[in-house]
Amino acid sequence: MGWELEEEELTGGGLTGDVAPALSGPVLSARMSETPEITPPEQDAGSLATPLTAQVADGDAIHVEAARRRTFAIISHPDAGKTTLTEKLLLYSGAIHMAGAVKSRKASRHAVSDWMKMEQERGISITSSVLQFDYLGKRLNLLDTPGHADFSEDTYRVLAAVDCAVMLVDHAKGVEDRTKKLFDVCRLRGIPVLTFINKCDREGIEPLELLDTIGSALGIECAVVNWPVGSGREFCGVIERASREVLLFGAGKGTELVEFERTTLDDERIPDKVSESVRDELDLLDGAGEPFNAERFRAGRQTPVFFGSAMNNFGVQAFLDAMVNIAPPPLPRPGDGAREPTDPRFSGFIFKIQANMNPRHRDRVAFLRIQSGKFTRGMDVTLHRSLETVRLAKPHSFLAQERSLVDEAWPGDIVGLFDPGLLRIGDTLYEGQPAVSYAGIPRFAPEYFGRVKLKDPLKRKHLQNGLIQLSQEGAIQLFVRPDIGEQDPYLGAVGQLQFEVLLHRLEQEYGVHAILDASPFRLARWIGGDPKGLAWFKARRDYTLVEDRHGRPVVLSESPWPLQYALRENPGLQLFEVEPL
């Protein structure tokens, strides 16, 4: 007996207007299957290149396949150009043939990874996007993350699922707040970081000064791999530090591959003034700058630095070439019974859930990072939290919103599973024994609270469905009052913008017009420690007690004082800012 995760087609059209909220019934079904059946293989033209494994025994295949995976996230302060660079990496890998823009004019294309309507309207990323593609015999799993602090939970979850990060620095702005925060998270998780200094087509900070700032603000050694030739309007190429070869770029629109020539600094097309200053800077670097050292990079002590312009494609290919070579293959993860990536037995964990990616299917996709072994379509695995058997019937790989069925996948790969509501962020799935449970992905205490009010009371059921689905996705946190139940929950967010996105998505995806009634609460703490503490809270009338999605007690407060008082009164009480796992 087991659960089968598979997608069900919608018969009634898209999720718009009044049709959408037929969501009251289970849209995706979790079928109990008495006799596990094998889903017949399907032809899928869109799937990625055939694996290299056809003639290799599986024992060897796991080594071959794991070694060619690269799984990484692009991180930075908002607007540094993550989505633009992502688009160009897709262009240079051949995954797309024409690049779109973050903010496109009517007739032009949008960047692939900002697929959500609200992202396209506002020109910002709201949710992370998963992109899988091949380049130079490697299979890349790339995650474009949102930079805005209000969506940081999503970015933190992604950082739990990658082996490497690409940090973007805006040439004119240097190391900004969010970049520093995200870098700190990478350091905590031991993730090596590559640095791409973007927007060199604009006037900016002197590169030597930028290096100093990165070094001092982040406490990391910079190893320059290439260096800009000219800046702003004069930016015409990058010079490889080791070979002193210049990649000189021709003009281009940025939507297509840009031509470049390999030359030297003596080339007469480079203004004398520019080549002289580049020579001086390289001499200085040779005297004082560190050379690239793979070990120091993997240990997170050194970051290789590249320059370029994602907008007009300068330096993008050089960066991609270097990246696939130096980024690490899948790395082990902490957890009970954690397996080495090359262990033949499958294991993996869910780090992200996204509802309604495809408006024609009311689907909920759980993103699985494969941690060890070979994953095959239709395999039966154990869900660690409940020890249930789950059949992974129709796994998909993603290029943002586009999906292709996968037959097999390997450590480092990210696959999407259709989820009827069975899976949660942080769940571990595994095959065989002994059991595996990877270290979880924490949720953070929200700082903004509110309740939604409906314009049309008849849509209450639809609202409830929307709220439950979007909270399972982690787009918002729901807290219910035990005496009232799920009727009128408190919504919690890490940032205000999350509420805006929520209202917009309720309207777009569930056909519900709602408004937000802001609440004065500013703090939420999970209650733990001596059970007498919880009893103390319950006996009083002046604290607001709620339950989180797992029924765990949480106290809401407008200020820290009442919480401090509670702690003083109850020596065994513990209040947690991060959800206890």
Ligand X SMILES: Nc1nc2c(ncn2[C@@H]2O[C@H](COP(=O)(O)OP(=O)(O)OP(=O)(O)O)[C@@H](O)[C@H]2O)c(=O)[nH]1
- In 423-539 the beta strands, taken as DSSP E runs, fall at 428-430, 437-438, 448-454, 477-481, 485-493, 514-519, 523-529
Give me the sign of the Cα torsion angle 494, 496, 499, 504.
Answer: negative
Q: For Mg ion, which is the closer residue by CB, 66 or 124? A: 124
Least Å from the CB of residue 281 to ligand X = 21
| Distance from the first to the final alpha carbon of the chain | 28
Q: For Mg ion, which is the closer residue by CB, 77 or 362? A: 77
Three-class SS state of 143: strand
- DSSP for residue 101: B
- Sequence letter at residue 230: G
* Residues 191/162, Cβ–Cβ less than 8 Å: yes
CA 483 to chain centre: 37
Q: For Mg ion, which is the closer residue by CB, 116 or 406? A: 116
- Residue 255's binding partner, choosing from ligand X, Mg ion, none, with beta-carbon cut-off 5 to 8 A by kind? none
Tell me which stretch binds ligand X (CB under 6 A): 73-81, 180-188, 370-378, 533-541.
73-81
- Contact call for residue 254 and ligand X (CB under 6 A): no
- Contact call for residue 84 and ligand X (CB under 6 A): yes
CA nearest to 139, candidates 58, 50, 41: 50
d(CA 365, CA 423): 10
Total residues found in the chain within this entry: 581
Site residues for ligand X, 182-211, by CB under 6 A, read 198-199, 201-202
- Contact call for residue 83 and ligand X (CB under 6 A): yes
For strand 69-75 and strand 164-170, is the pairing parallel, antiparallel, or unpaired? parallel
Tell me which stretch binds Mg ion (CB under 5 A): 4-12, 80-88, 497-505, 556-564.
80-88
d(CA 187, CA 167): 12
Give me the sign of the Cα torsion angle 308, 314, 318, 319.
Answer: positive
- In 159-301 the beta strands, taken as DSSP E runs, fall at 164-170, 193-198, 221-224, 226-229, 237-240, 246-249, 260-263
Site residues for Mg ion, 413-432, by CB under 5 A, read none
Q: For ligand X, which is the closer residue by CB, 169 or 353? A: 169
Per-residue tokens: 200 = 């060199």
- Sequence letter at residue 571: P
Least Å from the CB of residue 163 to ligand X = 21
Q: For Mg ion, which is the closer residue by CB, 125 or 498? A: 125
Q: For ligand X, which is the closer residue by CB, 172 or 454? A: 172
Per-residue tokens: 101 = 């823009």
Per-residue tokens: 441 = 């992905």
The torsion defined by the Cα of 54, 55, 57 and 62, in degrees rounded to 10, comes to: -50
Site residues for ligand X, 143-162, by CB under 6 A, read 146-148
Among 82, 88, 139, 361, indicate the residue that binds Mg ion (CB under 5 A).
82
- Contact call for residue 125 and Mg ion (CB under 5 A): yes
Tell me which stretch binds ligand X (CB under 6 A): 43-51, 82-90, 214-222, 448-456.
82-90
CA 167 to chain centre: 13
Q: Which residues contact 322 (CB under 8 A, 6 or more apart)?
A: 194, 225, 304, 306
Three-class SS state of 440: coil
- Contact call for residue 494 and ligand X (CB under 6 A): no
- Sequence letter at residue 35: T
d(CA 426, CA 446): 18
Least Å from the CB of residue 173 to ligand X = 11
Among 90, 91, 102, 512, indicate the residue that binds ligand X (CB under 6 A).
102
Measured from each CB, the residue nearest to ligand X is: 147
Angle at 122 between CA 118 and CA 124, to 5 degrees: 90
Least Å from the CB of residue 154 to Mg ion = 12
Q: Which residues contact 518 (CB under 8 A, 6 or more apart)?
A: 448, 449, 450
Least Å from the CB of residue 70 to ligand X = 20
Q: For ligand X, which is the closer residue by CB, 154 or 427? A: 154
Q: For Mg ion, which is the closer residue by CB, 27 or 158? A: 158
Least Å from the CB of residue 251 to Mg ion = 26
Site map (CB under 6 A) of ligand X, residues 398-427, x = contact: ------------------------------
Least Å from the CB of residue 376 to Mg ion = 33
d(CA 106, CA 48): 31
- Residue 311's binding partner, choosing from Mg ion, ligand X, none, with beta-carbon cut-off 5 to 8 A by kind? ligand X
Least Å from the CB of residue 87 to ligand X = 8
- Contact call for residue 125 and ligand X (CB under 6 A): yes
Q: For ligand X, which is the closer residue by CB, 198 or 477? A: 198
- For 113, phi then psi, to 5°, come to -80, -20
d(CA 511, CA 509): 6
Site residues for ligand X, 355-394, by CB under 6 A, read none
Among 83, 372, 428, 544, indicate the residue that binds Mg ion (CB under 5 A).
83
Q: Which residues contact 78 (CB under 8 A, 6 or more apart)?
A: 124, 146, 147, 148, 178
Among 20, 69, 76, 382, indicate the residue that binds ligand X (CB under 6 A).
76
Site size with ligand X, rule: CB under 6 A: 22
Site residues for ligand X, 292-311, by CB under 6 A, read 309-311
Q: For Mg ion, which is the closer residue by CB, 24 or 108? A: 108
Tell me which stretch binds Mg ion (CB under 5 A): 75-83, 237-245, 269-277, 412-420.
75-83
- DSSP for residue 296: H
CA nearest to 470, candidates 423, 427, 510, 440: 510
Least Å from the CB of residue 144 to Mg ion = 6
Among 31, 63, 97, 103, indicate the residue that binds ligand X (CB under 6 A).
103
- Sequence letter at residue 581: L
Tell me which stretch binds ligand X (CB under 6 A): 31-39, 90-98, 141-149, 352-360.
141-149
- Residue 229's binding partner, choosing from ligand X, Mg ion, none, with beta-carbon cut-off 5 to 8 A by kind? none
Chain positions contacting Mg ion, by CB under 5 A: 82-83, 125
Chain positions contacting ligand X, by CB under 6 A: 76, 78-84, 102-103, 124-125, 146-148, 198-199, 201-202, 309-311
